[in-house]
């Protein structure tokens, strides 16, 4: 699973002022990342505002990214939800030939037991031969998938190859790293912890801030993979404030504000999210001016 090692980015979905999908800006964003060191691209994740994207828009986003990417980087598609049958149906009916793998978020709102998590992902794994990256993000789903459940899935289902762990819980990372099968990947979903996790034996990150600073963040992760902690932490400290800023209000309003100031896309997000406040706008502007 070498294609999932390094820095992946969870792409935003750029919008025009009328909140329709901005294909031109999406093209800029993809090219910017490909040209500046990103290792793989993740489509239709939480950062892409998947919860407020229609089926038709999802097809437009996929078609645009596949065309612009033109096989230059591995692509991962977000296919998840709390309706297991619908997730299975999409995996069985969608053309997945352009994708190296699937990122599937833990079921949200329903608050399943650990056995419920296991059976959900077992059904998903049996619906496709594609490699699957589990996505544990309890801050959004309202329930933590325990390391024991993640490791059980890793051991029982051969196409479950990695987890994007985003609980911002260092002890949980260490437990996964200590007990995982040799070929199972632990990918950080927390930008602030990504370097530490990589140095501890992780496989890198699926990043939010990385799409705005792809060269710096991918360089940092690569240095971490090489065990060059001093050089890697020099970059980490330079980016630390902006990482904190983009999650200060909501995601992806923060990263879209950064991308707006870099002239890549607008800062528009769809309700119930709202764009970055004036205060956050100035914090980000000051950071970029002095970076």
Nearest to 102 by CA among 126, 118, 85: 126
User: How far apart, in whole angstroms, are the C-alpha atoms of residue 82 and residue 230?
Assistant: 42
**Encoded tokens for 145:** 């998938």
User: How far apart, in whole angstroms, are the C-alpha atoms of residue 17 and residue 268?
Assistant: 7
DSSP string, 189-246: --TTTHHHHHHTT--EEEESGGGTSHHHHHHHHHHHHTT-HHHHHHHHHHHHHHHHHH
Q: Which residue has the tokens 């059980």?
A: 152
| Strand, coil or helix: 187 | strand
Catalytic residue positions, numbered? 135, 164
Cα distances (Å, whole numbers) of residue 116 to 25, 145, 173, 201, 205: 39, 10, 22, 29, 26
């Amino acid at each position: 699973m070498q294609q999932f090692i390094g820095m992946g980015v969870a792409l935003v979905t750029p919008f025009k002022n009328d909140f329709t999908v901005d294909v031109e800006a999406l093209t800029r964003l993809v090219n910017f990342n490909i040209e500046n060191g990103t290792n793989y691209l993740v489509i239709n994740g939480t950062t892409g505002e998947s919860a407020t994207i229609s089926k038709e828009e999802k097809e437009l986003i996929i078609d645009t990214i596949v065309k612009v990417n033109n096989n230059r980087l591995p692509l991962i598609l977000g296919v998840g939800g709390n309706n297991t049958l619908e997730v299975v149906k999409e995996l069985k009916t969608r053309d997945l030939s352009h994708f190296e793998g699937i990122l599937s978020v833990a079921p949200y709102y329903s608050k399943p037991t650990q056995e419920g998590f296991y059976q959900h992902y077992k059904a998903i794994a049996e619906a496709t031969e594609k490699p699957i990256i589990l996505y544990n993000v309890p801050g959004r789903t309202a329930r933590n998938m325990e390391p024991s459940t993640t490791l059980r899935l890793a051991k029982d289902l051969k196409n479950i190859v990695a987890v994007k762990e985003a609980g911002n819980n260092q002890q949980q990372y260490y437990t996964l790293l200590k007990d995982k099968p040799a070929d199972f990947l632990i990918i950080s979903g927390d930008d602030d912890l990504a370097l530490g996790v990589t140095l501890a034996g992780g496989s890198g990150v699926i990043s939010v801030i990385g799409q705005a600073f792809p060269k710096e963040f991918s360089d940092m992760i690569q240095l971490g993979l090489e065990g060059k902690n001093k050089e890697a932490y020099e970059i980490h400290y330079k980016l630390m404030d902006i990482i904190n800023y983009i999650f200060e209000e909501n995601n992806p309003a923060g990263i879209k504000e950064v991308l707006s100031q870099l002239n890549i896309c607008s800062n528009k997000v769809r309700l119930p999210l709202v764009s970055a406040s004036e205060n956050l706008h100035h914090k980000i502007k000051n950071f970029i001016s002095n970076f």
